[in-house]
Amino acid sequence: MTVERLRLLSGPEYTDVWDRFDARFAFRPSVCEFPGITEPSPSITWSLDALRDDPGDRNLDRLVDVVQDGLATRCGPGESLWLLDWQHTCHRLRPDVPETDMFLPRVLEGRSREGWPFGPYPDGDYHVFLAEDLRFGTFGHPWEHTFCVFGAELLNEIEQDVHHILGRPLRRDGVPADRPAPRR
């Protein structure tokens, strides 16, 4: 049996994944309610404003590479990622399966690396990349223009690089970065 590297989510699977995401993160799609999820602990959220005046999109390309490398590295053998583009086609990706010469769907707008259908940057809609068990991932909010990375293992992998690209965080664990986090 051949294992597919990338496949579209079926209707029932699409609904199930979005329902799981909503239940875990209390997803609130809105153009004016921010943040759009209950940001878990640990998490760090950055503004994407540093990318607005990015000549040649060099920093955007770096962000895509850092995030997609980090996600692939944190997925163990046989594990999948959910690549969710709100109200659009969504995918399941097995980073450990080598790419083939077959056609891989790509979004015409936005940036991504070969073999990934779209990148983590929220180019007009929410982009969510998740481990299958929801233990780590990213949430890109197009209207707040923010990028949240969550899960200790993914943060350990990419936090420093994302900080160099995007600058000072806006929030840590859902709390403004300039305020101390509440005691647990």
* Residue whose structure tokens are 């594990």: 79
pLDDT tens digits, residue range 31-67?
998 999 999 999 999 999 999 988 889 999 999 999 9
C-alpha 76/C-alpha 44 separation (Å) is: 23
Kindly report the pTM of this predicted structure: 0.91
Closest by alpha carbon to 40, among 51, 61, 24? 24
C-alpha 44/C-alpha 101 separation (Å) is: 37
Is 92 domain-assigned?
Answer: yes
Is 182 domain-assigned?
Answer: no
Is 69 domain-assigned?
Answer: yes
Work out the mean pLDDT of the chain and round it to a whole number: 91
pLDDT tens digits, residue range 135-157?
999 999 999 999 999 999 999 99
pLDDT tens digits, residue range 70-110?
999 999 999 999 999 999 999 999 999 987 744 444 443 44
pLDDT of residue 109: 41
Whether the upstream peptide bond of residue 35 has omega within 30° of 0, thus cis, is: yes
Is 1 domain-assigned?
Answer: no
Is 10 domain-assigned?
Answer: yes
Domain that holds residue 169: 6-29+38-174
Is 181 domain-assigned?
Answer: no
β-bridge mates for residue 137, sequence order: 130, 150
pLDDT tens digits, residue range 8-20?
999 999 999 999 9
Is 183 domain-assigned?
Answer: no
Q: How many domains does the chain have?
A: 1
Is 180 domain-assigned?
Answer: no
- Element (H or E) spanning 148, and its range? strand 146-150
DSSP letter string, 82-116? EEEETTS--EEE-TTSPP-SS-----SSS---TT-
Give the Cα-Cα-Cα angle 138, 77, 101 (nearest 5 degrees).
85
